[in-house]
Amino acid sequence: MTAPQGAGALVPGRSCGSCTACCKVLEIKALDKPAGILCRHNTGRACGIYRERPEACAQWHCLWRRIAALPDALRPDRSGVVFGLERRPPGAGAPEGACIVGRALDSEQAFDRWEAVEAFAMFVREGSLPVWKAYECNATLMNPRP
pLDDT tens sequence across 96-123: 788 999 999 999 999 999 999 999 999 9
102 bridge partner residues: 83, 133
**Coil, strand, or helix at residue 128?**
coil
pLDDT (0 to 100) of residue 87: 83
Residues 124-142 have a mean pLDDT of 91
Cα dihedral sign, 97-99-105-107: negative
**Coil, strand, or helix at residue 12?**
coil
CA distance 9 to 112: 29
**What residue ranges do the domains of the chain occupy?**
22-143
Say if residue 49's pLDDT is above 70: yes
Reported pTM: 0.87
pLDDT (0 to 100) of residue 6: 40
What residue ranges in 21-79 does DSSP mark as E strands? none
CA distance 134 to 139: 4
